[in-house]
Amino acid sequence: MANGNGVPEKVAWILVRDDRVLVTRSHGRDRFYFPGGHREPGESDGETLVREIDEELQAAIDPDSMVHFGTFEIGEGHPNHGPFRMICYTADHRGELTPSREIAEKA
C-alpha cells in the first residue's frame, strides 16, 4: 500500500540474534530481504507486522514490544522496484521461526 505521496511502503521486522540479522527469501527469488510486507487498507504498522510475520514465519509478534528501528527510502536504482519506503521495527516474538509456503528459506 502506498502512503499519501504515492510511494509504496513496506513494514519490516529487524531481528538480531547472535550478531546476525534475520533475512528471508521467497520462492522464485534470488535475493534475501527483511521479513514483513505491505499494509492492508486500514492496518496500522503493528497490525501489518503481526500479520506478515505470522504469514511468513508462523511466529507471533508482540506488538507492545515494537520499537521503531528506522525508515529507509529506496530510490529508483533498485533493480526490481521503483522507489519505496521501508519502515523497520524490532519486536519480541513467540514461537519458532518456521518458513511458510511463500518463504523458501531464512538465514
In a domain, 1, yes or no: no
User: What distance in Å separates the CA atoms of residue 107 and residue 96, rounded to the nearest whole number?
Assistant: 14
Contact between residue 10 and residue 78 where contact means Cβ atoms under 8 Å apart: no
- In which domain, by residue range, is 43 found? 9-106
Residue 31: which pLDDT band, with cuts at 50, 70 and 90? Answer: confident
pLDDT at 1: 53
pLDDT at 102: 87
In a domain, 63, yes or no: yes
C-alpha angle 93-98-99 in degrees, rounded to nearest 5: 115
Torsion angles phi and psi, residue 89, rounded to 5: -135, 150
What are the distances in angstroms from CA 40 to CA 1, 11, 14, 46, 75?
7, 11, 20, 12, 23
pTM of the model: 0.87
In a domain, 84, yes or no: yes
pLDDT at 7: 81
DSSP 8: B
Q: Is the pLDDT of residue 81 over 70?
A: no
In a domain, 68, yes or no: yes
In a domain, 71, yes or no: yes
Please report, for the domain that includes residue 92, its CATH number: 3.90.79.10
Q: Is the pLDDT of residue 72 over 70?
A: yes
